[in-house]
Each structure stands twice: as C-alpha cells, then as structure tokens.
Homo-oligomer: A and B are copies of this chain.
Amino acid sequence: MLKAPDHQVAGHRADNGKLGPLIDDSGRFYKPLQNDERGTKEVAFYSSFSSNGRIPTHIRRFFPIFHGTQHLEASDGSGLHPHLVLQDLVSNRLNPSVMDIKIGSRTWYPQASEDYIQKCLKKDRESTSLPLGFRISGLRTYESDKSGYWKPDKKNVQGFSLEDVRSALRKFVSSNPSTHTEPDCLFAPIIYGGSDGILAQLLELKAWFEDQTIYQFYSCSILMVYENGVAGEEGRRQTGAEVKLIDFAHVVEGEGVIDHNFLGGLCSLIKFVSEILACPDESTTKGGLQEPEKNQFSVENSSKA
C-alpha cells in the first residue's frame, strides 16, 4: 500500500492529485523522476555513487540507500511513471523532527542554461543562500503530544532572514518552538552535541568535502532528523539524530576540484550550530550583534561599490 509521506517538509507533494513521492510500509520512498533531465541526472548520480569504490564507507551512511528505479502508478493518477526507489529516511521514527537545508550560496553551475542560471541566481539573492551559504527549505519540529508539530508555512520559510534562520535552528531543538517565549534549546546538547550528534556528523561530512573531487553537489540539501524524546522522561530513549544528503538532480562531475560552494555553506551551517551549542541560553536576537567590539568597522555595508 503506497501513500503520501507524512513527514515531508520541502519539495513536491503527492497531495490533491499532484505528482509527488510515495512511501510503503516496508521503509521505501518512491520519488517520481522529473520528466526533464533532472530525473535522468538523479538516477545517474545514485547509480554512480552506489557503485563508486572511492566513497569511504563512513560517508555512505549520509546518503539514502538506493534500490534502483521502478514503474509505479503515479500519485496524480496519470498512469505508470518511473520512480527512484530510495530508503525512507523517517520510516523508523514515531514523531520525527525534520529540517531541510539547501546548501551552497550558489545553486547553479556553469554548464547550466542561461535561463536556469538567472532563475537560480534570483532565488539565491532573494533568500539567505547568498549571505549565509545555505537556506532553510522547510522544517517541522515535534513539540508535544498535546500541541503536535510546529511547522512554519512555506511562504514564511521562503522569507527567512538571517535572524529567522538563527532562530529556527534554535527552535528546532527546543521544547517550546510554537510559543512566543525564547526558544529554550533544551535538546541542543543531545541533538546538536554529543559524540554522534548533528555537529559531529556535519564535521565528518566537512572532512570529506575538503578532500573529495568526484562530485559537485549543486542545489543539494542536508536533512537533519531526530526523534523528539524529552531527555530523562523515558530513560535512555534513542533520539537518533541523523544528517542525510538528499536531492541530487543537479550533481555534476568534480573534475578534480573540491566542491568549495557546498563546503563553504556547510562550514557556515556548522558555525551556526556550534554557536547554539556554545550558548544555548543566549537570546536569538543577540547573535553576533552584541559582541564587545562591534561597530569598530565603520564602513557602511549599504554603500554602493
């Protein structure tokens, strides 16, 4: 029995007769191939990656398992359509909190068409991609059995400013994301921190990106997932914080050069997460703005070159 996934936070959805991904109850995720070259390219990436002997074993865990492609009845009722068959990344979760972060200040690559480049460049400039090196594409955080999930709507997320991003990364690991009080960052030490927490996993990925020159991951996302168990409530409940890479329709060959665009954005995200871990009690609006010697550098950023 196939159905639309409950925990999707970004991308096309299989709701209301639209074409979108489906899941089954055996832990598989069926992603319809996009009709243009994007579908073909994503299949080519998964095929290349899954058989590439140069990918270290400890890096494979950051990628969804690939089970090939399969023709299935499409969710929009249009008949048989080819689907990527992937691991469902949240199938073993009860109340997963999920954040989708598109990495890179640039989502376009030199070989793309001019139309595509201009479209991407506009989005990058209008979002936090340009200043931050990444943008949040979607998120949902499980607050409690009573209040359910906190999930800012798509329009809201698309308009996120630097401070909104900082705040969302704090709310994502807080027990009070939906309230108007300061996010408490209660889960930061166990989700972002720890020897196999989000930060440790991001640093492991970073070390690989400093070295690998096989692929350039344009417009690819990092998915952060965890199970929202209040620490201590049910003893040592497994929170299982996981980092995964998803969306490979725009991966190109590395040609012997590291993916400096992805790496820069990843380092920026790492810095944000590190700051939350270092100061979980700090107000979201402080950020770097109240550091002791702020404003020594008096050139106006708004001046024109």
Q: Are B258 and A261 in contact (CB under 8 A)?
A: no
- Complex CA gap A279/B167 in Å reads 46
- Is the Cβ of B44 less than 8 Å from the Cβ of A293? no
Specify how many copies of this chain sit in the oligomer.
2
Residues of B within 8 A of A52 (CB): 293, 296-297
Q: Is the CB of B257 within 8 A of A162?
A: yes
Among A63-71, A78-86, A125-133, the one that faces the other chain is A125-133
Contact A299 B261 (CB under 8 A): no
By beta carbon, the residue of chain B nearest A290 is B256
Report the Cα distance A17→B260, complex, angstroms. 41
Selected contact of A305 from candidates B105, B113, B166, B261, CB within 8 Å: B113
Distance of A63 from chain B, by nearest CB (Å): 14
Q: Given A105-B106, A110-B131, A113-B304, is A267 in contact with B263 using a C-beta cutoff of 8 Å?
A: yes
Query: Does chain B have a CB within 8 A of A16?
Result: no
A305→B271 contact, CB < 8 A: no
**Complex Cα gap A255–B260 (Å):** 21
Determine if B303 and A37 form an interchain contact, defined as CB atoms under 8 angstroms apart.
Answer: yes
The minimal Cβ–Cβ distance linking A302 to chain B, given in whole angstroms, is 6
Chain A contact-residue range equals: 35 or more
Which residue of the partner chain, among B45, B53, B125, B258, contacts A297 with CB atoms under 8 Å?
Answer: B45
Residues of B within 8 A of A252 (CB): 299, 301
* B288/A256 in contact, CB under 8 A: yes
A171 to B304, CA, bound (A): 39
Other-chain contact of A210, B105, B254, B271 (Cβ < 8 Å): B271
Q: Can you list 12 A-B contacts (CB < 8 A)?
A: A48-B299, A52-B297, A105-B106, A110-B125, A110-B130, A133-B260, A214-B297, A255-B289, A260-B265, A260-B268, A264-B264, A264-B267
Binding site for B on A (CB under 8 A): 37-38, 40-41, 44-45, 48, 51-54, 105-106, 108-113, 116, 125, 130-133, 162, 166, 210-211, 213-215, 250-258, 260-261, 263-265, 267-268, 270-271, 287-289, 291-293, 296-299, 301-305
New contact pairs (13) apart from A111-B302, A250-B305, A255-B289, CB-CB < 8 Å: A41-B303, A48-B299, A53-B293, A54-B292, A108-B305, A113-B305, A162-B255, A162-B256, A162-B257, A166-B256, A252-B299, A256-B288, A260-B264
